[in-house]
Amino acid sequence: MKAPHIITLILWAFGIVNLLEPFNGWIFYVASGIFYLLFIAHLIECVIYRNKILKSQDSPFIAFSMTLIFGVIYLGSIKDS
């Protein structure tokens, strides 16, 4: 796994842990902001790049899941046919 993948997973984990067991103080707001920013940005990417995602070699479920988790990192790995 490459550094961008690991960093993205750490940010997701930070936000999800905050949802399940909220942090105290300012760190709660930072973790919430990171989580919702990632979630909304990657949802928008799924809508904008829908056709590219559907043309990938992966199944649509896997392709959309990977885009939701990794965003443009995954989209960059899709080969244009």
What pTM did the predictor assign? 0.83
Task: Summarize pLDDT for 43-74 with one digit per residue, the tens.
Answer: 999 999 999 999 999 999 999 999 999 999 99
Q: Is 76 helix (H, G, I), strand (E, B) or coil?
A: coil
Query: Can you give the pLDDT at residue 11?
Result: 92
- Rounded to 5°, the CA angle 41-18-6 comes to 60
Instruction: Give CA–CA dist 39/15, Å, rounded.
Output: 10
How confident is the model over 21-49, as pLDDT tens digits?
A: 999 999 999 999 999 999 999 999 999 99
Report whether 77 contacts 49 (CB < 8 A): no
What value does the mean pLDDT of the chain take?
Answer: 91
